[in-house]
């Protein structure tokens, strides 16, 4: 039996890391598309008449179907019942379809179509382009979140008992590289074809990501054939609805899920507004501000893999989440409270990088911790529920920030839409909201450490056996 295990693909260093590279590449392209419109808020406001509320709705629409239609819970169930290969292909196709609809919504062809006329006939305060973009982005959101939970379970499958936290850290680092790339490239694409050109390139990248997902399925099939003679290594037990209640009554799971929603609510919605925030506070153009924002994932890209290596060797998972929450809170307080005359380019970039460090500490320790508190047989459902709870925040927070931005800057949106020059938003209130999420995450991290000591999950112990 031991000899058979030693011959499986997961025990080959080369095969393990190739599998990781394939699935991580898709997440790189997916993260690029997630934020492809983020540096273009001003262009959408002037060219498409999107107010900050509408722009915030775009960010929230990515998570609408996952939250209200329960697609993330369904994705976890599908993953546990149908396995990795089926789910990964479904996720890839869904991302491409949703991305194509979002691209079409911003083209001249749509603007001259009958659908444009029909969509303009109701909810007239929201442009027709935004309505179709919301719908496409919501479909994309189903695919990208399904991909996220599948990639997490895939890494556990290949790296449990080995370099699991390092592998998750490297996957996240490559995904963060997509964030760096989009803030560098999206404004350039937009200069040569407008917003629709940027979204077109994001769609093209999604198609490449689907191909890397497809290639990975051959490795997954080969591994399953080595583990089980009949090639069906998963799932080993039928999913039961009662499993959902088992997960939701697990205090360790609830603490991690709570940290997840608080932390990500202060990160991803921030990315949507960060370019205009820095442009307003520093008095620079949007392209320059977008380049500054691109430094945000640098800390995550550089530090996440070594943090994962440290977690594998030494542990301290729960403590890392607490330190990340502290840095998160401090970063947003700097953005909110440092006056414009003291807010130099150096302060801006330094704070962005500190936020990137926080983005390393929490996810790098959070996702490898979940398999320690949840049984393997419903790990997919646990990841699905975690992402579902996270998506509640990611749905509501961009809308909240867009509303807060308009409410705290009366009349500014109308002046910008009218082409008045030199008008800027003040982002203090939105940034204080983000800091509040970080402060709440800091408190919850103490509770997680308490639960870990009480239940003996081993969150502070090394991952590598």
List the domains of the chain with CATH numbers.
8-455 (1.20.1250.20)
pTM above 0.85, yes or no: no
* CB count in 10 Å sphere of residue 229: 7
* Residue 288 structure tokens: 């320059």
Q: What's the confidence (pLDDT) of residue 464?
A: 66
159-168: buried (b, 16+ CB within 10 Å) or exposed (e) per residue? bbebbbbbbb
**Dihedral sign, Cα of residue 350, residue 353, residue 357, residue 362:** positive
Q: In this predicted structure, what is the pLDDT of residue 268?
A: 87
Sites in the chain below the pLDDT cut of 70 = 1-7, 228-241, 299-300, 463-465
CB-CB contact of 15 with 9 (8 Å)? yes
Instruction: Please tell me the predicted confidence (pLDDT) of residue 293.
Output: 87
Q: What is the pLDDT of residue 135?
A: 95
As a whole number of angstroms, the distance between CA 411 and CA 431 comes to 20
Instruction: Concatenate the DSSP letters of all residues of 21-60 into one string.
Output: HHHHHHHHHHHHHHTTTGGGHHHHHHHS---HHHHHHHHH
Each residue of 164-206: pLDDT tens digit?
878 888 888 888 889 889 988 999 999 888 999 999 999 999 9
DSSP code per residue over 104-122: HHTSHHHHTSHHHHHHTTS
pLDDT at position 299: 67
Contact status, residue 299 vs residue 360, Cβ threshold 8 Å: yes
CA distance linking residue 388 with residue 365, whole number of Å:
19
In this prediction, residue 114 carries a pLDDT of 92
| pLDDT attached to residue 68 | 86
């Amino acid at each position: 039996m031991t000899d058979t295990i030693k011959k499986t693909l997961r025990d080959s260093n080369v095969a393990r890391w190739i599998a990781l590279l394939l699935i991580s590449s898709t997440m790189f392209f997916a993260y690029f598309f997630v934020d492809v419109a983020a540096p273009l808020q001003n262009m959408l406001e002037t060219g498409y008449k999107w107010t900050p509320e509408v722009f915030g709705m775009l960010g929230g629409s990515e998570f609408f179907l996952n939250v209200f239609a329960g697609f993330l819970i369904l994705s976890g169930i599908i993953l546990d019942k149908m396995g990795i290969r089926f789910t990964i292909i479904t996720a890839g196709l869904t991302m491409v379809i949703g991305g194509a609809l979002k691209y079409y919504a911003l083209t001249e062809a749509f603007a001259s179509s009958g659908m444009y006329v029909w969509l303009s006939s109701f909810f007239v305060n929201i442009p027709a382009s935004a309505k179709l973009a919301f719908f496409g982005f919501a479909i994309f959101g189903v695919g990208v979140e399904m991909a996220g939970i599948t990639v997490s379970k895939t890494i556990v499958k290949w790296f449990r008992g080995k370099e699991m936290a390092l592998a998750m850290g490297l996957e996240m680092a490559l995904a963060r590289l997509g964030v760096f790339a989009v803030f560098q490239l999206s404004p350039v694409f937009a200069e040569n074809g407008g917003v629709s050109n940027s979204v077109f390139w994001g769609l093209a990248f999604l198609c490449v990501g689907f191909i890397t997902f497809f290639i990975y399925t051959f490795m997954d099939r080969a591994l399953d054939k080595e583990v089980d003679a009949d090639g069906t290594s998963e799932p080993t037990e039928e999913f039961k609805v009662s499993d959902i209640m088992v997960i939701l009554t697990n205090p360790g799971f609830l603490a991690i899920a709570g940290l997840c929603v608080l932390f990500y609510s202060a990160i991803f919605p921030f990315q949507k507004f960060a370019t205009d925030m820095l442009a307003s506070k520093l008095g620079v153009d949007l392209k320059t501000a977008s380049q500054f924002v691109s430094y945000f994932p640098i800390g995550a890209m550089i530090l996440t893999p070594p943090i994962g290596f440290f977690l594998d060797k030494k542990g301290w998972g729960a403590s890392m989440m607490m330190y990340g929450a502290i840095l998160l809170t401090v970063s947003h307080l700097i953005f909110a409270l440092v006056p414009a005359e003291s807010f130099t380019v150096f302060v801006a970039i330094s704070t962005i990088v500190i936020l990137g460090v926080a983005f390393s500490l929490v996810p790098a320790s959070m996702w490898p911790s979940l398999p320690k508190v949840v049984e393997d047989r419903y790990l997919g459902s646990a990841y699905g529920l975690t992402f579902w709870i996270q998506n509640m925040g990611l749905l509501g927070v961009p809308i909240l920030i867009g509303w807060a931005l308009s409410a705290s800057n009366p009349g500014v949106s109308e002046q910008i839409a009218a082409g008045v020059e030199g008008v800027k938003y003040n982002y203090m209130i939105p940034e204080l909201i983000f800091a509040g999420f970080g402060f709440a995450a800091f408190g919850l991290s103490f509770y997680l450490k308490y639960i870990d000591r009480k239940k003996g999950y081993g969150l502070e112990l090394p991952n590598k056996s």
